[in-house]
Amino acid sequence: MNLIRRMLPLAVAMAVATPTLAAVSENNDDIMIQGFHWHSASAGDWYQQVGHQANELASAGFDMVWLPPASQAGSLEGYLPEQYNNLNSNYGTEQDLRDLITTLHGKNIKAIADIVINHRNGTGSWCNFVNPDWGNDAITSDDEAWDATGSDCSGTRGAADSGGGYAAARDIDHSQWYVRQSLKTWMNDVLKGVGFDGWRYDYVKGYWGGYNGEYNEATSPYFSVGEYWTSLCYNGEDCFFGGEYPDQHRQLQLDWVDSTNGNSAVFDFTTKGILNKVLETYNFSHLRDGNGKPQGTIGAWPSRSVTFVDNHDTGPSEMCGNGQSHWPVPCDKVMQAYAYILTHPGVPSIYWAHYFDWGLGDDIKALMALRKAEGLHSDSSVTIDRAEQGLYAAYIGDTVAMKMGNGSWSPAGGNWTLAEAGTDWAIWTKSELPGDWKRTVILIEGLTESGQDMFIRGGIDHDYAAANLGRSCTATNFECAMPIRHNNLRNATTAPWKANDNYLDWYGPEASQSGAAEGSAADWTTNTWPADWGAVKTVAVDGFGEEPLNAYGAHYWMLDVDMDCSKAVDGTWFELKTFISNGPAWEADVSQAGAPYVSGNHFAECGKVNVFKRGESEPVSIHNF
């Protein structure tokens, strides 16, 4: 496990170092729908049925439709391909497919082809590959067909399989140059010839991912994603044969993306499997990894992650309980899962059956509209506030907060509006407040003991405001207070004190703020974390500990807020004083050089990093971020 954890940063570094290709753009705000389910092939005219929904797909805001395998196959659903170049299938004729893609393009929707190239059926026999024609050396040397009773496979064998075997059809040897050229021609001339824009690769654990990278380089898809599905075990439980715990499970997917040279995304089966579990048990702690990030691939390489609730293999089809349903999210918790994937990073994929057959289309459409309106995308930041029994809560980007579970929670700070909600889930959005809002940080050194915390009060001197600003300040009108919104809500100790703390003021707890708050709560920080202190704590993950803005030493308490600078003196200055609970209480007066007027308080500049020492007039450092 330690090796795997050390490898994770390498995968993240790869995301930075690898040139961005069209198939995996950064900050991708696309949403995909899987345009079929397991029973769609039985319809006979499926392409036409999808075309009839083109207006709805466009209205909902879908950017891509993943269509089923297009080639003639030896199985109803198309996953045992025989004649790659024959695009007449159980979903419709080649002309039906052309007409559908033309319709989708007319709505600015891309068509993603299901590429099944791990294995192939022979036409009329085990190993008769026609249209395109391949020899038996296209079959891996360790395929079961070479020694099977009734098999007609003979002659020169291909190389050993570069991945896992697939018994239902012949495993393709991608090391054969002519096989790769044949597949590239099929993808470029036949599939792109009818209008396909990108690829969903089936069963990619069956062969080396470098071949997928080569195929993408040769075909320049709009988008590419691979299905790397392996068994997942859950932390705290016995792992069955062949399964992997979440860290290792995620690492396998990241390794596959690495093998493609980073030019394909991967379906986030780690997130999908964990959602299955937590929505059954309500133990949401599984959703947070050891670094405080989302546990799935979205927590390590989000731009290369495609999130989903269910698909044609894992979930039911037209109704709960039918179809394949191999690994489904609990049927009554599907909307909770969509609330998660449609607010979190990655590229979300919606399941056709959920949208069109389960009566969830309007609810999913509303979440899609929220995602688009708030500018969420594949690389949106996530700050997990709670992940515990009964409750998951997180802030995504700057303007979205969400919760799942039956625990009570609401976002801290002001100006949040409940936007969407359902059974055991809710999503809030934050609108911009009038004013001149800028990130403002106070770092102030103050030695404390166990059980002591630092609070900050501040604003503008009442007498100065009356004489010079025309403000008559009282404890009820907040005219001399500085409007704030806390940025650090990760510290479990201080977060409750920050709830409903909307002003840096002189007056004590605000209405609905905790009575234990002696002002605006600050968080303890340091510039280094010695080894003998134990596991490293950081502000980014834990809400306290090491902090990059602290270049000064231990015991620098930090207040990190967005502040309305329009309320400051000359749009710049405000005062502050600290209070340490359970001990020293108020700090002594200071006399700061260069202050705009006389006061016994520290003066800070709105929109900057302000560094002080408690009870001391100097040194003072005020600088830009």
Average pLDDT, the chain: 93
The amino acid present at 456, given as its one-letter code, is I
Domain boundaries, the chain: 386-430, 437-623
Reading the block at residue 478, the tokens are 């907040």
- Cα–Cα distance, 615 to 623 (Å, whole number): 21
Reading the block at residue 38, the tokens are 């397991």
Structure confidence at residue 274 as a pLDDT band (50, 70, 90): very high
Q: Please answer whether residues 352 and 35 qualify as being in contact, where contact means their C-beta atoms are separated by less than 8 angstroms.
A: yes
Nearest to 604 by CA among 495, 484, 489, 500: 484
**In the chain, what percentage of residues exceed pLDDT 90?**
86
Hey, CA dihedral for 125, 126, 128, 130, is it positive or negative? positive
Average pLDDT in the 40-67 region? 97
Task: Give me the helices (H) in 482-562, please.
Answer: 495-498, 539-542
- Least confident interval from 244-248, 409-413, 535-539: 409-413
Q: Which CATH number fits domain 386-430: 3.30.70, 2.60.40, 3.40.50, 1.10.3470?
A: 2.60.40
- Cα–Cα distance, 89 to 155 (Å, whole number): 31
Q: What are phi and psi of 551, to 5 degrees?
A: -105, 20
- Cα–Cα distance, 115 to 172 (Å, whole number): 13
For residue 122, pLDDT over 90 is answered with: yes
Catalytic residues: 202, 227
* CB proximity list for 187: less than 8 A, separation 6 or greater: 113, 115, 199, 215, 218, 219
Q: Which residue spans within 252-381 are E strands per DSSP? A: 265-267, 305-308, 347-351
Question: 3-state SS of 107-155?
Answer: CCCEEEEEECCCEECCCCCCCCECCCCECHHHECCCCHHHHCCCCCCCC
- Cα–Cα distance, 75 to 89 (Å, whole number): 10
Average pLDDT in the 73-86 region? 98
Q: Please answer whether residues 544 and 552 qualify as being in contact, where contact means their C-beta atoms are separated by less than 8 angstroms.
A: no
Average pLDDT in the 331-360 region? 98
SS3 assignment, position 184: helix
Structure confidence at residue 22 as a pLDDT band (50, 70, 90): low
- pLDDT at position 6: 25
Q: Counting every residue, how long is the chain?
A: 625
- Alpha carbon of 157 to those of 132, 146, 201: distances in Å? 18, 9, 25
- Least confident interval from 6-15, 75-84, 335-344, 450-459: 6-15
Nearest to 428 by CA among 409, 446, 444, 443: 409
- Alpha carbon of 4 to those of 229, 319, 401: distances in Å? 18, 39, 31
387-398 pLDDT per residue, tens: 999 999 999 998
582-618 pLDDT per residue, tens: 999 999 999 999 999 999 999 999 999 999 999 999 9
pTM above threshold 0.85: no
